[in-house]
Amino acid sequence: MNVKFNNNEIQLQRSDLAAIRDMIPEGAHILDLGCGSGRLLYALKTLKHAKVMGVEHDQQKILECAARGIPVIHASLDAALTDFRDDTYDYVILSRTIQSVQRPDIILNEMLRIGNRGIVSYMNFGHINARIQMLFGHMPVNRNLPLPWYNTPTIRPGTASDFKDLCKTLKIKICREIPLTNEGDYLRRLAVLWPNLFASNSIFVISK
C-alpha cells in the first residue's frame, strides 16, 4: 500500500505535460484542475519545488494522488470553484480538461480569478486528420481523439481557432501559444506555421 515512487515518475510521457512542466518557474504555486493521478503535479513538486494542489473527481485517481503525496480536493469542475479564493495561485492548469466540462467559458474566468495565469492544454478538432474524417461525414476518432462521440468525455469539441475566439469574447489575453504534434507525424513541421490545421494539441498561456 505504501507506494514509493522512483525518479521515473517525473518523466512525463505526454508532450503537453512536458511542455507545461518546462514553463513553470521555480517555487510557483500551482493549481491543477482535473489533475488525474497527479503525475504533472508530482513532477512540478519534485523538479520545480512548486507548492501544488489538485482538483479531481475520480476517486481512484485521488487515491493515486494521495499515494504520490499530492494534496488533492475531490470535486467536480462543473460545480463552482468557489472553494478557492481570488489570486491564490501563480498558475492554474487545465490540461485536456476544458473540453470535458459543461461550461468552458465559466471555467476560464474562474481560472483567472483564482490564479495569475492560466495554462490550457487544448485538443484541436481542427487538425487535418479530424477534418478529413469530418469531410467523410463522421466525427473524428483517431490517435488523439480515441473515443467515439457517444462515450467520449470530450463533450465540447472545438478547434484551436474556436478557443482563441472564445478568449477574445471573454477579453482574455493569450500570452503564449505552443502548438504540439505527435511523434512521427510527417506534417509536424507545419504545425508552427498553421497550428489550427496541423497541431493535434495546443497549449495556451492566458491572463486577464
Partner 1 sequence: MAQESCSSSVGIVQPSDYLFEEELPLDCGRSLKGVVIRYETYGKLSPEADNAVLVEHALSGDAHLAGYHSPEDKKPGWWDDMVGPGKPFDTNKLFIVCSNIIGGCSGSTGPRSIDPDTGRRYDMDFPIITIADMVRAQERLMRHLGIKKWFCVAGGSMGGMLALQWGVSYPEAVNGTIAIATTARVSSQGISFNWVSREAIMNDQHWLDGNYEEQPQRGLATARMLAHITYLSDESMNHKFGRALQESPASNYEFAFSKDFRIESYLAHQGSKFVERFDANSYLYITRAIDYFDLSDCADGNLAGALKRVETPFLIVSFSSDWLFPAYQSKELVRALLDNGNDVTYCNIQSSYGHDAFLLETESLGSLISSYLTNLPWEPPE
**Whole-angstrom distance, CA of residue 71 vs CA of residue 74:** 10
Residue 157: Cβ-neighbour burial (10 angstroms; 0-12, 13-18, 19+):
middle
Please tell me whether residue 67 binds partner 1 under the rule CB under 8 A: yes
Q: Out of 24, 41, 50, 65, which residue is the one contacting partner 1 (CB under 8 A)?
A: 65
Is the CB of 7 or the CB of 169 nearer to partner 1?
7
Q: Of the listed pieces 11-19, 66-74, 137-145, 191-199, which binds partner 1 according to CB under 8 A?
A: 66-74
Please tell me whether residue 91 binds partner 1 under the rule CB under 8 A: no
Please tell me whether residue 2 binds partner 1 under the rule CB under 8 A: yes
Q: Of the listed pieces 62-70, 99-107, 141-149, 189-197, which binds partner 1 according to CB under 8 A?
A: 62-70
Q: What is the DSSP track for the chain? A: ------GGGG---SHHHHHHHHHPPTT-EEEEET-TTSHHHHHHHHHH--EEEEEE--HHHHHHHHHTT--EEE--TTS--TTSPTT-EEEEEEES-GGGSS-HHHHHHHHHHHEEEEEEEEE-TTSHHHHHHHHTTS---SSSS-S-TTT-S--S---HHHHHHHHHHTT-EEEEEEEE--TT-TTGGGGTT-HHHH-SEEEEEEE-
Please tell me whether residue 83 binds partner 1 under the rule CB under 8 A: yes
Report in angstroms how near the CB of residue 73 gets to partner 1 at its nearest.
5
Q: Of the listed pieces 58-66, 131-139, 168-176, 192-200, which binds partner 1 according to CB under 8 A?
A: 58-66
Cell numbers 511542455 correspond to 19
Residue 125's nearest CA partner among 83, 96, 84, 91 is 96
Please tell me whether residue 208 binds partner 1 under the rule CB under 8 A: no
Report in angstroms how near the CB of residue 84 gets to partner 1 at its nearest.
6
Is the CB of 33 or the CB of 70 nearer to partner 1?
70
Is the CB of 70 or the CB of 180 nearer to partner 1?
70
Q: Which residues within the stretch 16-55 sit at the binding site for partner 1 (CB under 8 A)?
A: 53
Please tell me whether residue 157 binds partner 1 under the rule CB under 8 A: no
Please tell me whether residue 74 binds partner 1 under the rule CB under 8 A: yes
Binding site for partner 1 (CB under 8 A): 1-3, 53, 59, 62-63, 65-74, 82-85, 88
